[in-house]
A and B are shown apart, each in its own frame.
Chain A
């Protein structure tokens, strides 16, 4: 299905794809991406491509709002009719029509190594899926990986045939380091002045808390989507007896005797943590998704598209 794309793809993408052992982004995966792109188009049918407007006001032709004139503003945008009626100097603002920038931020801390399949692999597939839908929609897609800092970055790109760049980027990142969403997001916003949609994919196991990172994106006018991935085994681990729990990021150790009762309480604590993130996001008008790795990734993407309205 992607043969025509492959033919047009760069030799670099071909070589990377050929040397990749795993089947993370194999033919089957690519076929499902194409399916997703078609379904996404149906969901948002009637809209023209590249019609997505940014919320940035600027030099467009469609009126957006008024604001008080300040010295230095362009006189050409003064609304003289308003001045005639009210005597106030108001500046006319127009929506700036520009390509939508979609930033996919993927957590590659060590905690993402857990699960079967690994949360990291699952997150990469989700990221690739969303990126493909966006590319198919002619949006500008940029990728970034982070742990306690931004560890990798894919420059903004556009067009469906650029998906292999995305694959290459995702293949080359490794789960490493501790989670530090706040610091990573500070770096991200500093590096990306162009506002747009920020899709944050993580398990949000941040000892410093998840709130600061999300707020950083919000404060910098990014339309933020939070996707929390977790493995069912994380919720109810197959543990019993005396064990020493070691945090694989921080190395912190805790001794505990695991009993069925303890496991129930841990599951409740995990659910409470997820609820905490969800409540925070709802409060801050941030769209939140909680996805188990047992959910087929295409179902998860369709759910995101339907509920989130982030694309199209």
Chain B
């Protein structure tokens, strides 16, 4: 036993001084209060009876003095902050990595594996030795310390409330690096991993991470591994019928037993399709939902076991997708009459088409796209434009400078990455002749002959344009599926509507969500309703989240809905791992210190002093003591 606040001499001095004071007060107390009475003889009879109890009375007085001195002694020793000798031994420095990844939401251990991890961590806290210090960190895609390195068990216990489940995949290498950094130069360093053991290899850009230099302990969590997950969820609209979509759902049964499941597809929150299917143990299978309609904004896939229950990990039983809102594009067709153009534009019901002759141009009203068929306006249009055979009359400057004519050109060179030519087959299109044009700086030849471009994309006066340098009526292009696709791709390119694959964001990654110009920040609302402000960089809100679901990105009155999914492939296998090995170093078990004993003895001394006061108060009022 040693004193850490006051020395033994100081403690004894305090004890002596206050003890002397108590004795003085005790002696003063012995001088009784004088009370005059009319006839003291009447009391003598009682006093005579009391003679027999005089010894007992003296003992009571002595007891009172002893209680007072004991109280002073307890307080004096408490001031000295006594510690056991073991308290001065070099304690351990521990970093507890609590796995909060998706698999820890498994319910095979009630209520969840993560809650069980909390219980195990509390046991570790209870098992801290007198000089042990501990830091608790949440381990998922990142590593977040939730407590300081402290020996205060109250702080450590309280810090566990800051650990929250995530839909992220564990980055074990990052967690180990963090723990090793914290424990650098610490004696008796120890890393305790509280996890179901479903951890990726501890490798980062610097290579494999080893836990050598610190003792590695592992607390295994988990019991069962019955799980079926949605490993992929993909939605795309049909290019020519954007009101309908095609959905791909990939399912993975990572259990060791076959599972019968029910797959439900929800559009805007309402069920629109249900399928039942059987998955063999370890089987991965895909299901297509074709011609899905009735969903304007969101699509969600859900799986449940056929008996209506959930598997051990409900977190990967849902997947989300966002459908961009469709809006009508206003198109003006300036032509002397071209049925091919009219027919192609009829394929998209979301187009409002106005047909005018070149003499009637410009027609009143606002348009998103203007299609010039063999006509070049005297002044450039104020909207995006498609030029077909843009041969300007004399004195008029067209979008492209015409140098001459190319006879029988072919689409020999095609930029397949450009959205204009998506899903088109142009290779064998026969063309009688085309204009030989000179491209301006910034213009992009999307497709063309070696003698000149046939399909050009570019910008004029801040507006996009697409030019087809030949008369489609003098080719067989209108007779091919590529013709309407080419025309509709052009319109989509102008109005920035991507009719292709509409995916979602992934948890743990940084999301860049386009927002209207003029905003420096946006508000991100998570699926659980919590909101936070995120910055806007280059017209895109930069944000992220740890849970899958639908998020709202709000700027002013604009509300952009985004879908966020987890990486089910990495977390669907929830088989608990009983042993953990890192770079050949097998993790051991945590060895508790002195369990159940508070290191601050002064607290017990103060409690004892208070208890003594209560006893004295009670006994005094009962006249047991004086």
Query: Is A205 at the interface (CB under 8 A from chain B)?
Result: yes
Query: Is B46 at the interface (CB under 8 A from chain A)?
Result: yes
Query: Is A266 at the interface (CB under 8 A from chain B)?
Result: yes
Q: Mark B22-48, 1 if CB is under 8 A from A, else 0.
A: 000000011011111111111111110
CB <8 Å contact, B39 and A243: no
Query: Is B50 at the interface (CB under 8 A from chain A)?
Result: yes
- Chain B residues whose CB sits within 8 angstroms of the CB of A10 once the complex forms: none
- Chain B residues whose CB sits within 8 angstroms of the CB of A265 once the complex forms: 46, 49
- Chain B residues whose CB sits within 8 angstroms of the CB of A239 once the complex forms: 35
CB <8 Å contact, B34 and A244: yes
CB <8 Å contact, A207 and B41: yes
Q: Which of B34, B39, B45 contacts A205 (CB 8 A)?
A: B39
Q: Mark A254-294, 1 if CB is under 8 A from B, else 0.
A: 11110110100110011001000000000000000000000
CB <8 Å contact, A246 and B34: yes
- Chain A residues whose CB sits within 8 angstroms of the CB of B34 once the complex forms: 243-244, 246, 253
With A242-B29, A245-B40 known to touch, is A257 a contact of B45 (CB < 8 Å)? Answer: no
CB <8 Å contact, A237 and B37: yes
- Chain A residues whose CB sits within 8 angstroms of the CB of B32 once the complex forms: 242-244, 255
With A243-B33, A255-B32 known to touch, is A269 a contact of B42 (CB < 8 Å)? Answer: yes
CB <8 Å contact, A245 and B623: no
Query: Is A22 at the interface (CB under 8 A from chain B)?
Result: no
Query: Is B57 at the interface (CB under 8 A from chain A)?
Result: yes
Complex: A208 Cα to B460 Cα, angstroms: 137
Chain A contact residues (Cβ within 8 angstroms of B): what range?
20 to 34
CB <8 Å contact, A203 and B626: no
Complex: A246 Cα to B42 Cα, angstroms: 12
CB <8 Å contact, A254 and B47: yes
- Chain B residues whose CB sits within 8 angstroms of the CB of A245 once the complex forms: 35-37, 40, 43
Complex: A286 Cα to B165 Cα, angstroms: 100
CB distance from B40 to the nearest CB of A (A): 4
With A255-B32, A257-B57, A257-B623 known to touch, is A246 a contact of B46 (CB < 8 Å)? Answer: no
CB distance from B495 to the nearest CB of A (A): 97
- Chain A residues whose CB sits within 8 angstroms of the CB of B33 once the complex forms: 241-244
CB <8 Å contact, B47 and A246: no
Within 8 A of B (CB), among A109-134: 111, 113-114
- Chain B residues whose CB sits within 8 angstroms of the CB of A111 once the complex forms: 38-39
- Chain B residues whose CB sits within 8 angstroms of the CB of A203 once the complex forms: 38-39
Query: Is A192 at the interface (CB under 8 A from chain B)?
Result: no
Complex: A270 Cα to B623 Cα, angstroms: 23
Complex: A142 Cα to B29 Cα, angstroms: 52
CB <8 Å contact, A247 and B45: no
Residue of A nearest to B624 (CB): A259
B contacts with A, residue count (CB < 8 A)? 23
CB distance from B473 to the nearest CB of A (A): 123
Among A203, A205, A239, the one with the most B-chain Cβ atoms within 10 Å of its Cβ is: A205
CB <8 Å contact, A247 and B46: no
- Chain A residues whose CB sits within 8 angstroms of the CB of B43 once the complex forms: 245, 254, 256, 266, 269
Complex: A234 Cα to B40 Cα, angstroms: 11
Complex: A246 Cα to B41 Cα, angstroms: 10
Residue of A nearest to B53 (CB): A257
CB distance from A254 to the nearest CB of B (A): 6
CB <8 Å contact, A254 and B623: no
With A242-B29, A257-B57 known to touch, is A248 a contact of B37 (CB < 8 Å)? Answer: yes
With A242-B32, A242-B626 known to touch, is A273 a contact of B42 (CB < 8 Å)? Answer: yes
Within 8 A of B (CB), among A187-211: 203, 205, 207
CB <8 Å contact, B35 and A246: yes
Q: Mark B41-71, 1 if CB is under 8 A from A, else 0.
A: 1111111011000000100000000000000
CB distance from B25 to the nearest CB of A (A): 14
CB <8 Å contact, B623 and A247: no
Query: Is A28 at the interface (CB under 8 A from chain B)?
Result: no
Residue of A nearest to B44 (CB): A254
Query: Is A81 at the interface (CB under 8 A from chain B)?
Result: no
Complex: A266 Cα to B50 Cα, angstroms: 12
CB distance from A107 to the nearest CB of B (A): 11
With A244-B34, A255-B32, A265-B49 known to touch, is A250 a contact of B40 (CB < 8 Å)? Answer: yes
Residue of A nearest to B46 (CB): A265
Complex: A262 Cα to B35 Cα, angstroms: 16
- Chain A residues whose CB sits within 8 angstroms of the CB of B50 once the complex forms: 256, 262
Residue of B nearest to A255 (CB): B32
With A256-B47, A257-B626 known to touch, is A234 a contact of B35 (CB < 8 Å)? Answer: no
- Chain A residues whose CB sits within 8 angstroms of the CB of B29 once the complex forms: 242
Query: Is A252 at the interface (CB under 8 A from chain B)?
Result: yes
- Chain A residues whose CB sits within 8 angstroms of the CB of B626 once the complex forms: 241-242, 257
- Chain A residues whose CB sits within 8 angstroms of the CB of B42 once the complex forms: 205, 266, 269-270, 273
CB <8 Å contact, B40 and A254: yes
- Chain B residues whose CB sits within 8 angstroms of the CB of A249 once the complex forms: 38-39
Complex: A113 Cα to B37 Cα, angstroms: 10
Residue of A nearest to B39 (CB): A205
- Chain A residues whose CB sits within 8 angstroms of the CB of B46 once the complex forms: 256, 262, 265-266, 269
CB distance from B27 to the nearest CB of A (A): 13
Among B30, B34, B46, B623, the one with the most A-chain Cβ atoms within 10 Å of its Cβ is: B46
With A243-B32, A244-B32, A245-B35 known to touch, is A259 a contact of B47 (CB < 8 Å)? Answer: no
Complex: A218 Cα to B75 Cα, angstroms: 71
Complex: A268 Cα to B7 Cα, angstroms: 58
- Chain B residues whose CB sits within 8 angstroms of the CB of A247 once the complex forms: 36-41
CB distance from B57 to the nearest CB of A (A): 7
CB <8 Å contact, B40 and A252: yes
- Chain A residues whose CB sits within 8 angstroms of the CB of B623 once the complex forms: 257, 259-260
Complex: A105 Cα to B37 Cα, angstroms: 23
Q: Mark B578-620, 1 if CB is under 8 A from A, else 0.
A: 0000000000000000000000000000000000000000000
Residue of B nearest to A240 (CB): B623
With A259-B623, A266-B46 known to touch, is A246 a contact of B38 (CB < 8 Å)? Answer: no
- Chain B residues whose CB sits within 8 angstroms of the CB of A262 once the complex forms: 46, 50
CB <8 Å contact, A248 and B36: yes
- Chain B residues whose CB sits within 8 angstroms of the CB of A253 once the complex forms: 34, 40
- Chain B residues whose CB sits within 8 angstroms of the CB of A113 once the complex forms: 38
CB distance from B138 to the nearest CB of A (A): 62
Complex: A241 Cα to B42 Cα, angstroms: 18
With A254-B43, A265-B46, A269-B45 known to touch, is A205 a contact of B38 (CB < 8 Å)? Answer: yes
Complex: A192 Cα to B44 Cα, angstroms: 37
- Chain B residues whose CB sits within 8 angstroms of the CB of A250 once the complex forms: 40
Among A247, A249, A255, A259, the one with the most B-chain Cβ atoms within 10 Å of its Cβ is: A247
Could you pull out 21 A-B pairs where Cβ atoms are within 8 angstroms? A203-B38, A237-B35, A242-B29, A242-B33, A242-B626, A243-B33, A243-B34, A246-B36, A246-B37, A247-B38, A247-B41, A248-B37, A254-B40, A254-B43, A256-B46, A257-B626, A259-B623, A260-B623, A265-B49, A269-B43, A273-B42
Besides A239-B35, A241-B626, 13 more A-B contacts (Cβ < 8 Å) are: A242-B32, A243-B32, A243-B35, A244-B35, A245-B43, A246-B35, A247-B37, A247-B40, A254-B40, A256-B50, A257-B623, A259-B623, A265-B46
Nearest 10 pairs of A and B residues by beta carbon: A205-B39, A247-B40, A111-B38, A244-B32, A248-B36, A259-B623, A114-B38, A242-B32, A243-B35, A245-B37
